[in-house]
Amino acid sequence: MNDLQNKIAVVTGAGDGLGKQISLDLAQNGATVILVSRTEEKLKKLKEEIENAGGKADYYPCDVSQIEAVNDMAKKVLDKYQKVDILVNNAGVYFAGSFFDLNSEQAKKTIEVNTLGTIYCTRALVPSMKERNEGQILNVISVAGFEASGEYTLYTSSKFALVGFTEALRQELINTKVKISAIYPEGIRTNLFAGSGGQDVSKEAPNTLLDPKDVSEVAMFILKQAADINLSRIDIRKKIF
């Protein structure tokens, strides 16, 4: 396995939950982590936490649903660091409720963040990987990307689209050394559910949710593989005894 020393890693949705845990673990494994999310205060605190532990981090507040903001972030990162070795597309939103109960703004936001955010960040940063002919993309999707549920119609739709994007892009990159992988976790114990406007599943059934540390451990396993090994897809599920 490769170590992550001297790698430049961009993590979206880094302010909370899984994105925060992945950022901490990347830094612990020697990468310089570029923290990206909307809330500057959270990014600043995480940068300090990483640096206090001896790691390296930088941050760029950015709403990944806004293409101009993404392009600006990417330009600043590439101008400063000259490269990006790892892109973790993790930013996501979730609104609780049936398809017919959610409004058009919630529908729009779900697709803009969950689907277009990943597409925008990939378009902005991966061409530099192609030029160097090396790099890794890790898309955090969900089992909702291939297991449809009538309880999460909008969320499921945004994740199904990401599955198609990931698989098609893998084919487009097949003759390069740029790797693309995806993890498909079940529900994770994060603030995603608490901020959904509906039931806080993380409190209602905590034992059915994955720990962010366990999911991040899988992400590290993928990112540490040798350059000629591409773990394209890993489903992550909670085993209930």
pLDDT band at 205 (very low <50, low <70, confident <90, very high): low
Q: Residues in the chain, how many? A: 241
Cα dist. 80→55, 72, 124, 175, 231 in Å? 18, 12, 15, 28, 30
Quick: pLDDT tens for 61-72: 999 999 999 999
pTM: 0.93
- How many other CB atoms sit within 10 Å of the CB of residue 215? 22
Q: Where are the domains of the chain?
A: 8-234
User: What's the whole-number mean pLDDT along residues 203-229?
Assistant: 89
The CA-CA-CA angle for residues 81, 171, 230, to 5°, reads: 65
Q: What does the pLDDT read at residue 63?
A: 98
Assigned fold of 8-234: Rossmann fold (3.40.50)
Residue with tokens 């396993």: 221
Q: Model confidence over 135-182: pLDDT tens digits?
A: 999 999 999 889 888 788 999 999 999 999 999 999 999 999 999 999
Active-site amino acid positions: 155
Q: Is residue 235's pLDDT more than 90?
A: yes
* 194, pLDDT greater than 60: no
pLDDT at 3 over 90: no
pLDDT of residue 56: 98
Cβ partners under 8 Å of residue 32, min gap 6: 6, 7, 8, 9, 56, 57, 58, 81
